[in-house]
Amino acid sequence: MRVLITGGAGFIGSNLAKELQSAYPKAKIWVLDDFSSGHFKNLLGFKGEVITADLSEPALWEWLKGKFHFDVVFHQGAITDTTVMDQFKMLRVNAESMRFILDAVLAWKAKLIYASSAGVYGNSPSPMKEGEGEFPENPYGFSKLMMDRIALNFMEENPHIKVVGLRYFNVYGPGESYKGKTASMVYQLYKQMKEGKRPRLFKWGEQRRDFVYIKDVIRANLLAMERDVSGIFNIATGVARSFNEIVSILNQLLGTNLEPDYFDCPYDFYQNYTQADITKARELLGYEPQYSLEEGIRDYLKYL
């Protein structure tokens, strides 16, 4: 099996590369990354090759089509900073690239598994369900929705090519530290509390998220590869938890008693409540989350 992982030096991509390497030791794996938010240290222990390139360049995909043949493409590469307001840049990198990638998988007759996002739902009512309430609040969420639309049209026109979009909710876990300010709230709060600082939260910390541990996300990717299915699926736990609860769990595990420092939210596009309906992923992918927020944070702290 020959595998290409775009964004493979990033948080999710690097975890995926290592898990594939472990689960399929005979597979040949290539990582493609421009290292804008990925880091070489995420790939220490990875035994495959790295292609250093900008995935939004059409010439790259023409070169790849001529030079390589892949059986599976995991497309994780994207601008993931939700505060980027440059609409042209966001859509060019995240959405337009999808056209080049789909053209390549069609030529290779490869399976495509790609990263979408809960950002497509904006502040729609929870639980959020595929095909409903898709009203993003920022350019990032809109770019991911456009990716999904491009993918769905392709699936309709090319039913013989399997394409799976995974709408990740709030992913946290080992390998995210190089994301800086866009790392998960679990990581940000851990870092503050480990240094003895009061954890900073937007007032009043009751915003709720469907936090999903990286190991569940990686397993969802492998299931998507192994199942003979196409479609778009929510990947989450199906349970919404508050930021205050993260602070409480971290206080317990770190042996601290730090009270949150609440401040005003500066964003007018902020998602206040995300919770996934994961029925479709359960039924068609066989996906079942293994980690509650408590279990995920406990496991994560072993690495941190």
Give catalytic residues, as residue numbers: 140, 179
191-226 in b/e form (b: 16+ CB < 10 A) is: ebbeeeeebebbeebebbbbbbbbbbbbbbbbbbbe
Q: Measuring CA to CA, which residue among 93, 7, 92 is closest to residue 43?
A: 7
Q: Find residue 165's DSSP bridge partners.
A: 114, 232
What pairs with residue 202 in β-bridges? 263
Which residue in 237, 244, 142 sits closest to 200, CA to CA?
A: 244
Query: How many Å apart are CA 33 and CA 249, to the nearest integer?
Result: 35
Query: What would you measure as the largest C-alpha separation in the chain, in angstroms?
Result: 59
Orientation of helix 97-108 relative to helix 139-157, angle to 10° = 30
Return the amino acid letter for 271: Q
Cα pseudo-dihedral 284, 290, 293, 298, rounded to 10 = -150
Residue pair 170/235 in contact (Cβ under 8 Å)? The answer is no
In terms of Cα–Cα distance, which of 299, 33, 14, 21 is closest to 176? 14
H or E segment to which residue 268 belongs? none
